[in-house]
């Protein structure tokens, strides 16, 4: 069974979902993290706040996700977020990611 990561991200003004820098960041994040975890990433915009982005993905375990967070690849992605995106929250849900509807 997998776990489900739910991260809340906030795009910083003046960036929007459609900003070239934001699109590049989210594409790079999706490619690199999914290569590490073996699971797709899904992004959803907040209904009341379009700058709020929810990332949902799967992991083998919390430990595996923590190893990704500490990795050089992820740390490089965090450098890309400066002035672009802030992480507002992160939870690991005891939901089998494989069971979520696509």
Residues 32-45 have pLDDT tens digits of 999 999 999 999 99
Residue 41 located in a structural domain: yes
- Tell me which of 1 and 45 has the higher pLDDT: 45
Give the CB-side neighbour count of residue 93, counting CA atoms within 13 A: 15
For residue 24, give its domain range. Answer: 14-93
* Cα 33 from Cα 39, distance rounded (Å): 8
Evaluate if residue 60 carries a pLDDT over 90: yes
Residue 87 located in a structural domain: yes
Residue 7 located in a structural domain: no
> Taking residues 37-61, what's their average pLDDT?
96
Q: Which of 59, 68, 61 is nearest to 41 (CA)?
A: 59
- CATH number, domain with residue 77: 3.30.70.100
Give the confidence band of 50 by pLDDT, cuts at 50, 70, 90: confident
């Amino acid at each position: 069974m997998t776990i489900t990561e739910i991260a809340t991200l906030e795009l910083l003004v003046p960036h929007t979902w459609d900003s070239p820098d934001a699109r590049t960041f989210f594409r790079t994040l999706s490619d690199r993290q999914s290569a590490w975890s073996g699971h797709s990433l899904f992004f959803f915009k907040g209904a009341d706040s379009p700058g709020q982005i929810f990332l949902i993905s799967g992991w083998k375990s919390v430990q595996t996700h923590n190893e990704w967070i500490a990795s050089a690849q992820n740390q490089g992605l965090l450098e890309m977020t400066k002035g672009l995106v802030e992480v507002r929250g992160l939870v690991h849900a005891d939901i089998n990611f494989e069971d979520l509807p696509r």
